[in-house]
Amino acid sequence: MTWYMNVAQFATDPFGAKRPRDQEGENGAVSYDGEPMNGHSAYPLDGASSQLGLPSFARQDSHLSAPAWAPSAADRIYQAFDVSQPVDQPQDLRGRAKQVARLLSGVIHRRNHGIVSGPRGSGKTSLVRVFGQYADREGIVVLYAACDGGTTFGELLRGYLEQIPPSSVDPDEVELFDQRVLSFGLESSPHQATSIFAQIKYSQVVIVLDEFDRVFDPVLQAKVASLLKLISDARLPVRFVLVGGNNAFLDVVREHPSLMRHVTRVSTAPLAREAVFELLDSCADRCGMQFSAAGRELLDEVACGSPYHARLFGMHAALAALRGGDIEISQQAVAEGLYESFEEWSSLNGEDSATFHAICSGARGDPAPFVELAGRIATATDDEQLVDRPAPDPQAVEAAFGSAIDRSAEPIAFRDATAPQYLIALHHLSRLSSREQKGTVRA
């Protein structure tokens, strides 16, 4: 039994074994596994792209349209950058080999619980998905769900208990196990959950609690910490992997400091420059495009090591290059992509967008210190305390950012955790506009 799904394979390979080859037969016919399809173009005619004024990859000498299921040029870009879904293939997880190995070693071999923490968009869910694939290959039962801020301990655990396969339990105890699971209710305790887990005999079980940072209830946090401690003390074949923000580790061990010796901690620090370049090049290659050196550098500066932002900004940059009929994604295309990304984000965050425009225009003073602060927040790791580092005056920060920052957070944080990169993007666009007027923008 496994928590991950293989539906992504269809998204990345819709043709399956019938992917078109770059081999043309007579009259421009394309071969599918050696079988010609006379009259069809090597690439699909892109009606939607034509209506939008986008260039098409279709052959202009074709007189028939391709099969309706063939992806358009824009579709190939969307699939290549795949912004909406976490990575679940090991070869697509860039710059995280050490973290995956550490989590596997700690959870699978040392039998520790795992805590994966880091800022939003840093690839935490992707990391645990790849971890889950490796664990599944080892025959381990991996159960997965995302936390909800309003859930109770009983509701949270009941969903996992119901997924444990009967084969994990002694055949003579299956009926008793089912009865205990059915009786596990809203008011059930960590001790009751432990007694149910104790019936697991023939499987190793890993339970992934994603988005643990959405749990603000200190009672629920305390109960989860108690459960982890009870499981470790009883040496049960069950481990939890908690996935959350930079404070996830502290939220758990605060209740039981002794848990520290039973936990493997993994942090998704910002990707290194080389890893960001590899990620961008891999995505571009999948859709038959490539980044210019200046384009890659600009994306790396703005993404601040975030895989999510690198993919999102890179996708919009590729679409901008496509509109211009280019296969090279230049710095100009990246700038257009940053603009489109900001406008997309702005449609959902109008108030913060207006604040960022005011900052970058200089209406609230020199923007440089505020943009630099945003960069530090975007790249902060678990062990960094922003309040201990030089920063603009707190009153100046509050006056400049207004409701865009979370005043209750410690250290300082944005209300929208993905926002810092958008402020940095807008600031770069302002600088590029100035440089363009001076004729110093590179391709």
pLDDT per residue as tens digits for the range 103-112: 999 999 999 9
Domain segments of the chain: what residues? 8-80, 90-267, 273-438
Share of the chain above pLDDT 90, in %: 52
pLDDT for 87 equals 72
Superfamily of domain 90-267: P-loop containing nucleotide triphosphate hydrolases (3.40.50.300)
Over residues 388-423, the pLDDT tens digits come to 455 667 788 888 998 998 876 666 788 898 999 999
Q: Are 12 and 84 a contacting pair, CB within 8 Å?
A: no
Of 342, 345, 397, residue with least CA distance to 369: 397
Specify whether the CB–CB gap between 242 and 215 falls below 8 A: no
What the block records as the tokens of 309 is 């932002």
**What pLDDT is attached to residue 20?**
34
Exposed, middle or buried by CB within 10 Å (0-12, 13-18, 19+), for 314?
Answer: buried
- The pLDDT of residue 391 is 60
Q: Judging by beta carbons within 10 Å of its beta carbon (0-12, 13-18, 19+), is residue 348 exposed, middle or buried?
A: exposed
Q: Which residue type is seen at 120? A: R
State the amino acid at position 215 in one-letter form: V
Measure the CA–CA gap between 107 and 131, rounded to whole angstroms: 10
- Give the pair of three-digit tokens for residue 294: 């200046």
- Asked whether the predicted pLDDT for residue 325 surpasses 90, the reply is yes
SS3 329: strand
For residue 11, pLDDT over 60 is answered with no
pLDDT of res. 183: 93
Task: Tell me the per-residue pLDDT of 291-307, one tens digit each, with 9 for 90 and over.
Answer: 999 999 999 999 999 99
List, in sequence order, the alpha helices (H) in 174-326: 174-183, 190-197, 218-234, 248-253, 273-286, 293-303, 307-323
10-24, 198-212, 217-231, 248-262: least confident range: 10-24
Q: For residue range 420-442, list pLDDT tens digits in order.
A: 999 999 999 988 765 554 554 45
Q: What is the mean pLDDT of residues 333-359?
A: 95
State the CB neighbour count (10 A cutoff) for residue 338. 26
Inform me whether the pLDDT recorded for 61 exceeds 60: no
pLDDT given for residue 3 in this prediction: 31
Q: What value does the mean pLDDT of the chain take?
A: 80
Mean pLDDT of 180-209: 94
What 3-state DSSP class applies to 236?
coil
- C-alpha span between 337 and 425 (Å, rounded): 10
- DSSP assignment of 106-144: IIIIS--EEEEE--TTSSHHHHHHHHHHHHHHTT-EEEE
Res. 228: pLDDT tops 50:
yes
Residue 321 has pLDDT above 80, yes or no: yes
Question: In terms of pLDDT, which residue wins out, 159 or 384?
Answer: 159
